[in-house]
Amino acid sequence: MTILPSAANFVRLAAQGNLIPVYADLMADFETPVSAYAKLRAHGPSYLLESVEGGDTLSRYSFIGCRPRKTLACGPVTTLIREPGRPDRTVPTPPDPLTLVEAELAGHQPVKLPGLPRFTGGAVGFIAYEYATRIEPSIPAPAKDELGTPLLYFMLSDSLLIFDRAKQTLRLCVNARIADGEAPAAAHARAV
């Protein structure tokens, strides 16, 4: 299995940004996006994104995100932040909870690699209808929260499986984040 970019190329790419995809391709003869997702979903938060073009036609890629480095569940009053290996934290939910997601993404400079799809991970989640009351005061808040879902829930995932229907391959992709002051080679080694 060939891992790309190589450690030497990764160090060169680090001059362009601090978030670089590291990936390897496998044949996907016996695996489908749904079967792979069924195997991974029991191991924690995950998602399956199926792309569709013009109605019933599936497009080229399917994406499975797993092993999030952080999750944000924003309620009306408090936000639960979970990170593997750290205690859960609860912070006050700001007037616009999306600012928490924006703050997480700030400072990341993704490097686009040829041959990869435009999406290689990041913040994936949902925004509930009730979020509209946060940005448009004329919309009344519901009297009762029937479902108990968060205003928004986002996963920040660096690990992704990318199914390429055109090439019949499964690409394992990890976004290597280079911390301030960190040697790029160390970030590459961590991703591998």
Any idea where the domains of the chain sit in the sequence?
7-191
Cα separation, 94 vs 141, in Å, equals: 16
Q: Which residue has the tokens 């993404």?
A: 105
Residue 58's pLDDT band (boundaries 50, 70, 90)?
low
Please state, for a pLDDT cut of 90, what percent of the chain lies above it. 70
Q: Specify the amino acid at residue 49.
A: L
Which has the closest alpha carbon to 98: 148, 158, 150?
Answer: 150
Q: Does domain 7-191 have CATH number 3.60.120.10?
A: yes
170 versus 165: which is more confidently predicted? 170
Share the mean pLDDT of the chain. 91
Cα separation, 145 vs 124, in Å, equals: 23
Torsion angle of the four alpha carbons 6, 11, 14, 18, in this order, in degrees rounded to the nearest 10: 80
Question: What is the value of pTM for the model shown?
Answer: 0.87
Question: Residue 151 pLDDT > 70, yes or no?
Answer: yes
